[in-house]
Amino acid sequence: MARDLQDEPIVVTGGSRGLGLAMVEALLARGARITVIARNAAQLADVEKLGAATIAGDATDPALMDRVVAEIKPSVLILNAGATPFMAPIDEQSWETFSGIWNSDVKAGLYGIQAALKAPLPPGSRVLIASSGAAFVNQPQIVRGLRLSGGYTGAKRTLWLMAHFANGCSSERGLGIRFQVLVPLQMVGNTKLLQHVAGAYAQREGVSVEAHLQARYGGPFSEHEYGQQVTTLLSDERYAAGTAFGFKSNTGITLLD
């Protein structure tokens, strides 16, 4: 059975551009009531024109996340906000560059999850957490292929593990909140993050970003298509259970665990 997202209160962190904005657009089209949290006020002004409410703030701020989640009590909280990782081989990383992504993505994930459990969100609510296909690789050859990504791969894997921890808390306390992980299995769209990450690998390989993406993934995956797939994850009851889901252009949504 399909879940109607009409009038559902949904909060999206990092919904001002890239994948977050694509999810916002897809969910607005389904009649959801969206609130976006991001830092850049000028980009938020553009999002408001689409019909979303906005809050200028930092998703790593626990007081902000607690307040917004307690006030809105969203039926869906999307923890999408993410920084751009510092791309360099392991011996060119300082602890500050390596841990930067942990101090943004993992920190925001921790406080977002805690806000959802503390409020608590209503039974049947969903918390979607942005991980990455980089967190899904376990063959040494492929991991080596991600060697410029520094702390990013482990940070995104940690967010995945945190969803399992949170589901443990939710079921132990009978809260009925389902924490789920979004795992794009190929790079998506043409976002700031994609240009930075794919650009670093393309430069090393001496090819264009487009050629790098074509060789690694076999074709593009647009932000729009990703937004549609995440909306399907929320509206199609087949995906109401399960923790981690892969997203890919030609194969759609896959249950990972």
Ligand X SMILES: NC(=O)c1ccc[n+]([C@@H]2O[C@H](COP(=O)([O-])OP(=O)(O)OC[C@H]3O[C@@H](n4cnc5c(N)ncnc54)[C@H](OP(=O)(O)O)[C@@H]3O)[C@@H](O)[C@H]2O)c1
68 touches ligand X by CB under 6 A = no
- Residue 191's SS3 state is coil
131 is written with which tokens? 């991980």
213 touches ligand X by CB under 6 A = no
14 touches ligand X by CB under 6 A = yes
Q: How far is the CB of 139 from ligand X (least distance, A)?
A: 19
Return d(Cα 45, Cα 152) in angstroms, integer: 30
Pick one of 184, 230, 233, 247: the residue that binds ligand X (CB under 6 A). Answer: 184
Rg of the chain, C-alpha, whole Å: 17
The region of 16-24, 25-33, 161-169, 200-208 touching ligand X under the rule CB under 6 A is: 16-24
Cβ within 8 Å of residue 50, ≥6 positions away: 24, 25, 28
Q: How far is the CB of 251 from ligand X (least distance, A)?
A: 16
Pick one of 54, 75, 80, 229: the residue that binds ligand X (CB under 6 A). Answer: 80
Measured CA distances, 256 to 39, 41, 80, 236 (Å): 32, 36, 19, 17
| Helix residue ranges per DSSP H, 123-175 | 140-145, 152-172
CB closer to ligand X out of 136 and 175: 136
Task: List contacts with ligand X (CB under 6 A).
Answer: 13-14, 16-20, 37-40, 43, 58-60, 80-84, 104-105, 108, 130, 132, 184, 187-189, 191-194
